[in-house]
Homo-oligomer: A and B are copies of this chain.
Amino acid sequence: MESFKVNILGCGSATPSLRHLQSCQVVDFRDSLMMIDCGEGSQLELRRRKLKFTRLTHIFISHIHGDHCLGLPGLLSTLSLHGREGGVKVYMLKDGIKLLKPVVEYLCQRCSYDLEFIEIPPKGGVLLDTNALTVEAFPLYHRVPCVGFIFREKEKLRHINGEMVKFYDVPVRLIPDIKAGADLVLPDGRIIDNSILTTPATPSSSYAYCSDTMFDTRVAEAVKGVDTIYHEATYLSDLAQSAHERGHSTAAEAAQIAKLAGAKRLIIGHYSKRYIDFTPLLEEARAIFPNTIAADEGLVVDLHTAL
């Protein structure tokens, strides 16, 4: 099965600590690596996790706080120093482009690859639409403009039933159509139903990134039906007031969003540095949404298996 995984490179908040790095994730989708947020030091983590620079094609930045974007100039500069070719697209809100593009342009004056900055509309929308995947932005509710991202695999092709295809001596040129659901018309005019020739396609999976945001049911609406949701859980519930004031969520609130959205799995992260151990955060979330896992540096989650 082709890959659809998320690598957690950093899941701390605000200031980096010796326990957790700043926000960075990498969605590994087939041939591409797509980065979500790029805190300081993310380029080194890519290397540590053996995620090849040459496979990195898209970078999505949720908002312009240092812990989500300050690794970007260094990473983009390093790609050029490595003589990376091809293209890299960076998606950011307007302010981020205004702020960081000059830094990148100054440092990569003879950029070896095709670097494109693409503005994310504050209201979100589809950012990427390939034959296999869409990436969509939607508003989050933080102290500054901020968006989340949904990665959705498109509907996949059905699996060929090798024995039946052999039995009916199906010409190779017809296989793509049959995978796509077509029936087979035999030379004598008989019609063989597609369900005899194929088995159902592997279900398509989806992943949503919701960080940073305060608790807001509109987030649950936006990610409704998504299989795996990453939602920030900066604090425990005893600090719900601080969470709200700072535009963040508690672990319980993250779990409520997952429940409201009908998710299959929740990943919590963006822990305040006050929590050396994330177990209490995990327990708080699991009391509301049992299929919760805790992000940690180095964690790789296979997005095909949400249950």
Contacts and interface: CB of A to CB of B under 8 A. Distances in A.
Contacts of A256: none
A66 interface: yes
A71 B81 CA distance: 18
Contacts of A297: none
In the A-B complex, list the 10 residue pairs whose CB atoms are closest, starting with the nearest: A40-B74, A66-B77, A41-B41, A15-B78, A70-B74, A16-B44, A66-B107, A66-B74, A99-B106, A15-B81
A100 B77 CA distance: 15
A66 B70 contact: no
Contact of A107 (B18, B43, B65, B103): B65
Nearest to A15: B78
Nearest to A108: B66
A44 B65 contact: no
Nearest to A76: B66
Contacts of A100: 103
A47 interface: yes
A17 interface: yes
Nearest to A67: B74
B40 A106 contact: no
